A = this chain, B = another copy of it.
Amino acid sequence: MKTLAVGSGKGGVGKSTVTVNLGVALAKMGYRIGLLDADLYGPSIPIMTGLREMSPDTTVDGEGKRKFLPFQKFGLKIISLGFFLDESRSILWRGPMLHGMLQKMVSEVEWGELDLLLVDLPPGTGDVPLSLGQILKIDGAIIVTTPQEVAMVDALKAANAFDQLKIPVIGVVENMAGFQVPETGETYAIFGEGKGEELAHKLGVPLLTSIPLLPAIRRGGDEGIPSAFHFGDEGAGEVFQSLSSKLISNNV
């Protein structure tokens, strides 16, 4: 099993959206995919997969230890910190608490056989990647950014953090590229343009894809049905199919 982290530097660039849709697209290709949502501050995966306010079942392993069973949905095995927290409460995490929680999440889940574990990191370069780097062997990372200067600068920081943790960055995904008006076909670069390409160039890695601002993608997230799961609607499915093919051909 390989482990691929998805990070961003800046929050709100669509990291969780990319992670869940990439996972669904890879699962459609026949890979056995696990999804670990390690975003302690705002675990969005339960909402995006329609598993809000649900708690995973447990089982007992060969050594008599209790293990959590990931949810199986959209072809993915899914575990989120959100399953263990009250959605409306917030925890003011201090570092050591967080480290313990992550360790629990990683060691007490019965994933079964997986080809790839996708890890949705929190934005920023705080305790979580540092702790996860100690707990898990992470084989590579992709960085999600938007076409904005401020997002690119933070993405460079995230890349630098992965570098310090000796995790190779294997590619960049640009999200929220131009919005195309459905009626006229005109495209508006609301969040700017070109920074995904520039970031990939600076890091010496490929730009894996540039995802347009498709309301269907956002809607899929809010409604709990990842848009990569059903094709057609505004072409969102194809975007993630192409991303997953590119990842595979890059030998991940």
Contact = CB atoms under 8 A, between A and B. Distances in A.
**Secondary structure type dominating chain A contacts:** loop
Interface string A215-234: 10011011000000000000
A168 interface: no
A124 B11 CA distance: 9
Interface string A187-227: 01111100000000000000000000101001101100000
Given A42-B157, A88-B157, A190-B213, A127 B94 contact: yes
A7 to B, nearest CB: 11
A127 B90 CA distance: 12
Interface in A81-133: 87-96, 122-127, 129-130
A54 interface: no
Contact of A127 (B93, B150, B218): B93
Nearest to A125: B90
A92 B126 contact: yes
Given A153-B87, A161-B92, A164-B92, A41 B124 contact: yes
A93 B164 CA distance: 13
Interface stretch (A21-29, A58-66, A178-186): A178-186
Given A9-B42, A87-B156, 4 more contacts: A11-B13, A41-B125, A42-B150, A179-B188
Q: Which 5 residue pairs of A and B lie closest in terms of their CB atoms, listed nearest first?
A: A11-B11, A12-B12, A41-B124, A90-B157, A42-B154
